[in-house]
Chains A and B, each alone.
Chain A
Amino acid sequence: MIPLDETDKNILNAIQFDFPLDVKPFEKLGEQLEIKEEELLRRIQRLNAAGAIRRIGPIINTKKLGGVSTLAAVSVPEANIDKVAEYINQYPEVSHNYLRPDKYNIWFTVSADDENRLNEILEDIEKETDCPLINLPTVRLFKIGVMFNIR
């Protein structure tokens, strides 16, 4: 964990929530935060090198690109967890995959070009692993932030 002073924390919050869309965004952001552009860039470079800032760029809405996605979970016996996780991971369409101990214990997200491909992947996983699967596509979206309040 890297040490952060108040200025770093202000920067981390501002570049997530209020990144100015401007030809010279860092100059503008510096004005807002009352620090010089050079200092802001230096601090951002340090935070990036430490892994605290991964990138500054667009968060793309894949739905608008015509893709489909879902969250799915399988109920896997303890002894088969690694094997099943590996089987699921082989699909490039699987973007996230976590062990979350519960009735359904392997939770993964799939993004595919169309509905057919998505269903094909889920059916294959259910059949090949022989584990009960639930498909949990989004019915309604209330928030997708992935922004963090740094305190």
Chain B
Amino acid sequence: MKDIYIQLLRITQDGIPFTSRPFKDAAAELNISEEEVVDLIRKMQSEGIIRRFGASIGHRVLGITANAMCTWNVPDERVEEVGKIMAGFSEVTHCYERPRYPDWPYNLFTMVHSYTEEDCIRTAEDISKATGIEDYKLLFSEKEFKKTGIRI
């Protein structure tokens, strides 16, 4: 990857300042214009290096304290269709297909974040109804041992 991409990611990954011209310092450091900084970010986004440029939310502070990992046993031939339906739920923040094991048949994983555990349970029921997948499990996180962002 281009050096300038890495440099710009390093400068902005901890967050831009909340000022009228937040890319001013990054531009000065890289010796380019603010317009060029914005263009580079756009390019990284269209190349898929950045998934999204925007705010990370402290969801717990906002009362979104419940999260459940819902795991679903979905017939292989329905994974594509069902995965798309699940991803369409706004409460679903992540949705992945993962391998099965003899003692772990659940192959679709969705993370559900909401205000209460009851909300999560209800969302899982809604997803089940919308997809017809009835073999599923909800795993609530009882304890957070570690949580760090991925940095470069």
Contacts and interface: CB of A to CB of B under 8 A. Distances in A.
A and B: interacting chains: yes
Contacts of A4: 62
Contacts of B90: 149
A59 interface: yes
Give the top 5 A-B pairs by smallest Cβ distance, nearest first. Answer: A55-B15, A143-B87, A19-B54, A99-B143, A142-B83
A146 B98 contact: no
Given A57-B14, A148-B64, A15 B54 contact: yes
A98 B103 CA distance: 20
Given A100-B69, A146-B93, A60 B50 contact: yes
Nearest to A27: B20
B1 A65 contact: yes
Contacts of A136: 98-99, 109
A89 B146 contact: yes
B93 A147 contact: yes
A50 B51 contact: no
A41 interface: yes
Contacts of B52: 58-59, 147
Given A59-B56, A149-B90, A41 B18 contact: yes
Interface in A46-105: 48, 50-62, 64-65, 71, 85-86, 88-89, 94-104
A52 B62 contact: yes
Given A54-B56, A98-B141, A139-B98, A150 B13 contact: no
20 contacts: A12-B55, A19-B53, A26-B22, A44-B18, A56-B16, A56-B56, A57-B16, A57-B53, A58-B52, A98-B145, A100-B139, A107-B69, A134-B101, A136-B109, A140-B96, A141-B96, A142-B96, A145-B94, A147-B54, A150-B57
A88 B145 CA distance: 9
Contacts of A16: 54-55, 57
Contacts of B103: 103
Nearest to A85: B145
Interface string B63-85: 11000010000000001100110
Given A26-B19, A102-B139, 18 more contacts: A15-B55, A16-B55, A19-B55, A22-B38, A23-B35, A26-B22, A41-B18, A52-B61, A53-B58, A54-B58, A95-B146, A95-B149, A98-B144, A138-B98, A140-B96, A148-B64, A148-B113, A149-B90
A84 to B, nearest CB: 10
B32 interface: no
B97 interface: yes
Which interface residue of A17, A21, A58, A95 has the most chain B CB atoms within 10 A?
A58
A142 B101 contact: no
